[in-house]
Amino acid sequence: MTATVHVLTAGYVGPKVASTVTLIRDLAAQVVVDPGMVADRERILAPLRELGVAPEDVTDVVFSHHHPDHTLNAALFPNARFHDHWAIYQDDVWDDRDADGYQLSEHIRLMRTPGHTAEDISTLVDTADGLVVLTHLWWSAEGPAEDPFATDGEQLQHYRKAVLELEPALIIPGHGAAFAPSEETPR
């Protein structure tokens, strides 16, 4: 058995901003990635209900980085452990750990992928259809080729190449619809 990935809401950037919010299911793990800004919280909660998941059922929340557009709705999940680049948080407990290589469950692991910010991480999920990578290395399928807000453009390009070398079947970017990487994918 492998994990399943469900995009709850595809994000966007323009006059308004929303993050891509995703649910990953892997046996007992119910993981939400980047519960950030959305037009209405129902854009997160309604798809969860359709999948039979209550906010209290979510076991883990992953932040790709600490910008509010990716973290704003974290409090929707009262029983979750929260993961970022250097720790796991739950209630009043802060456990230091490096995210790189951290295994959330049998088929879900984290990878340090700085560039957009110095603290970025990506979530790697083994599914029946291949590897799925949830990341802010790309905002959407189009890139942008050069992230105008990147703290380190060279590092971003390095980690884009590193992720593409993993041969993911699907990339779920920070602000857009999931896409299959191709030769046109910005590197």
Confirm whether 183 is domain-assigned.
Answer: no
The letter for the amino acid at 69 is: D
Confirm whether 112 is domain-assigned.
Answer: yes
pLDDT of residue 51: 98
Q: How far apart are CA 90 and CA 88, in angstroms?
A: 7
Confirm whether 153 is domain-assigned.
Answer: yes
115, 38, 34: which is closest to 77 by C-alpha? 34
Confirm whether 140 is domain-assigned.
Answer: yes
Q: What does pLDDT average to in each consecutive run of 10 residues of the chain (187 residues)?
A: 94 96 97 98 98 98 97 98 98 97 98 97 98 96 91 96 98 97 92
Confirm whether 181 is domain-assigned.
Answer: no
Tell me the pTM: 0.97
Provide the token pair at 14: 């323009």
Q: How far apart are CA 186 and CA 25, in angstroms?
A: 29
Domain holding 50: CATH number? 3.60.15.10
3, 48, 5, 8: which is closest to 26 by C-alpha? 3
Contact 160, 141 (CB under 8 A): no
Q: How far apart are CA 14 and CA 27, in angstroms?
A: 37
pLDDT of residue 40: 97
Confirm whether 184 is domain-assigned.
Answer: no
In the DSSP assignment, the letter for residue 144 is -
Domain coverage including residue 23: 4-173
pLDDT of residue 115: 95
Contact 64, 95 (CB under 8 A): no
Confirm whether 101 is domain-assigned.
Answer: yes
Domain count, the chain: 1
Q: How far apart are CA 127 and CA 145, in angstroms?
A: 28
Confirm whether 122 is domain-assigned.
Answer: yes
pLDDT of residue 126: 98
